[in-house]
Amino acid sequence: MKKIAMFTMGTRGDIQPYIFLSKELIKNGYDVTLGSHPCWRKLVEDSGIHFEPVGPDIDIEKEAAVIRGKVSNPALSMLRMMNFVFKIIKNSTSEIYRVCRGKDLIVVSHSQMGATEAEMLRIPTVNVTLQKEMIAEKLKPQTFWNKLTGAIIGSQVAKPYNKIRALYGLKPIKSSDEIISRKLNLIPISKHVLERNPYWEKHHVLTGYWYEKEESYTPDEKLAGFLAGGEKPIILALGAMSFEDKSEKKKLDMFVNAFKKSGHRAIIQGFQKTLSDYELPETMISCGSVPHSFLFKQCLFVIHHCGFGTAAATMIYGVPSIPVPHALDQTGFAMQLYNINVAVKPLKSKDLSEDSIYKAIMNMKSEYEEKKRNAELISEKIKEEGGVEEAVRLIKKATGI
């Protein structure tokens, strides 16, 4: 049995795609190990995947909330989070190296975890990239200024990886593109959502989204009763952006008041600290970690932060949405939804108010039938692609294992 390892850092949205890929690889006869923050052990092991803890035992979503709370600029927020994660990756390289030993293939995640260790151990790699902006346009005609800008950006992005490479005596790289597999780079996005860039080299492949087709879930009595007790609700699902360093009553008030004003019922995910002493109206309910594969099918539309996984889930399950991006990469995913007309114009997190949320809800109401129809059509196309099955097929073809 061929052995594969992969590693990822970050919030649940950063680990979920690799859980889907791991399960499909296991189904195809591979021995898979997934390494991440110790806090994700239960999530991974409950999926039937061998887990290896990597890095300190921290509550990553709480840490992300603290970092996010210090700055309002989406680009700066993303940069600070990346620096935080890169520091953990550098300090965890000995653990990553240990897990890599004896493996036949390393699947290198979007944070490039495992790339240097695999190179040192001479183990083949394939990559996964979630953000199209991270893929070099190698086939694009280069002007002097393009080359100069690329070199400057590339050297900055390469810095954290060079710190790891120095530990192993490997020569420094000028850009992260140098450590991406030449065999295969998997992009788990649908071709019906993102047009393939003609300037990408051929080993960068859009597979379609990764998700689990049959995820069984039974809601508790409270949630089941709420769903059965009235019209379809709005879902508020801000993901890790709703994990609070401190109570965020003012922010939650904006959404609750806008929901009341619009006359819609609502289910609220997250905001657990705020909700501990917050009384919701009878038309609203809070819920914890309920799979989007179940929850999104029950709703009218979703208001979400547009993280990679949540944005994908709205399209997979055919649900229109109101994007509220908080970080730079989320803004990109929000625009993908808006451009294919399954979402209203994204709300900037810094401009959130009861009025702006209410107006977005009214905008969705006026355009709902069109956006719902588009979301359902996209959902059908995504399901025909079989993204995670395609990813495994490509891995087999590219590596021969």
Q: What is the mean pLDDT of residues 67-90?
A: 68
Question: Of 20-34, 216-230, 256-270, which range is least confident?
Answer: 216-230
Quote the mean pLDDT of the chain: 89
Q: Does position 383 have pLDDT exceeding 60, yes or no?
A: yes
pLDDT of amino acid 73: 63
Q: What is the pLDDT of residue 59?
A: 76
Nearest to 204 by CA among 284, 136, 297: 136
Average pLDDT over residues 334-355: 92
Mean pLDDT within 81-101? 87
CB 337 within 8 A of CB 315: yes
Q: What is the pLDDT of residue 148?
A: 60
Q: Which region among 53-67, 280-294, 303-317 has the lowest average model confidence (pLDDT)?
A: 53-67
Record the tokens describing residue 93, joined without a space: 């390289």
Per-residue confidence at 151, pLDDT binned at 50, 70, 90? low
> Quick count: other Cβ atoms within 10 Å of Cβ 48?
12
What is the structure's pLDDT at 209?
96
Phi-psi region of 102 (alpha: psi -120 to 50; beta: other; left: phi over 0): left
Q: Edge to edge, what strands does the sheet with 284-287 contain?
A: 284-287, 266-269, 234-237, 301-304, 321-323
255 vs 245, higher pLDDT: 255
Residue 107 is given by DSSP the state E
Class of residue 28 by CB neighbours under 10 A (exposed 0-12, middle 13-18, buried 19+): middle
Per-residue pLDDT, averaged over 375-398, amounts to 96
Measured over the CA atoms of residue 53, residue 58, residue 59 and residue 64, the dihedral's sign is negative
Name the pairing type of β-strands 31-36 and 50-53.
parallel
**Which has the minimum average pLDDT: 13-22, 214-223, 279-288?**
214-223
Binned at pLDDT 50, 70 and 90, residue 68 comes out as: low
Q: Mean of the pLDDT values across residues 88-110?
A: 94
Q: Which fold has domain 3-208+386-399?
A: Rossmann fold (3.40.50)
Residue with more model confidence, 39 or 152: 39
Encoded amino acid at 391, one letter: A
In three-state secondary structure terms, 52 is strand
Model pLDDT, residue 71: 55
Residue 127 in this model has a pLDDT that exceeds 80: yes
Q: What is the model's pLDDT at position 267?
A: 96
Instruction: Give the helix/strand (H/E) hosting 272.
Output: helix 272-275
DSSP state of 231: S
Q: What's the topology of domain 221-383?
A: Rossmann fold (3.40.50)
**Segment among 78-87, 162-171, 261-270, 325-334 with least mean pLDDT:** 78-87
Cα gap 114→128, rounded to integer Å = 12
* 70 — pLDDT class (breaks 50, 70, 90): low
pLDDT at position 350 is: 82
Do 3-208+386-399 and 221-383 fold alike per CATH?
A: yes
Please give the average per-residue pLDDT across 172-181, as a whole number.
87
* pLDDT higher than 80, residue 96: yes
Residue 87 token pair = 């520091």
Q: State the Cα–Cα distance between residues 322 and 140, nearest whole angstrom.
A: 34
Tens of pLDDT along 209-227? 999 876 678 889 999 999 9
- The residue written with tokens 């979630």 in the block is 130
Residue 133 scores a pLDDT above 70: yes
Distance CA 33, CA 74 (A): 33
Least confident of 135-144, 154-163, 197-206, 338-347: 154-163
Q: Is 132 exposed, middle or buried (0-12, 13-18, 19+ CB in 10 A)?
A: middle
pLDDT category of residue 85 using cuts at 50, 70 and 90: confident
Helices (H), 92-129: 93-100, 115-121
Angle between helices 12-27 and 387-399 (to 10 degrees): 70
For residue 32, give every residue at least 6 positions away whose Cβ sits within 8 Å of its Cβ, in sequence order, or none.
Answer: 3, 4, 5, 6, 22, 25, 26, 49, 50
φ, ψ for residue 400, nearest 5 deg: 75, 15
* CB contact at 8 A, 113 and 89: yes
Length of the chain: 401
> Is residue 120 left, alpha or beta, with left meaning phi > 0 and alpha meaning psi from -120 to 50?
alpha
Per DSSP, the residues of 134-179 read: GS--TTSPPPHHHHHHHHHHHHHHHHHHHHHHHHTTPPP-SSGGGG
The residue ranges of every structural domain in the chain are 3-208+386-399, 221-383
Residue 315's H or E segment, with its range, is helix 308-316
Which of 128-137, 233-242, 390-399 bottoms out in mean pLDDT, i.e. has the lowest?
233-242
pLDDT value at residue 243: 52
Contact 33/70 with Cβ under 8 angstroms? no
pLDDT band at 177 (very low <50, low <70, confident <90, very high): confident
Q: What is the mean pLDDT of residues 242-251?
A: 66
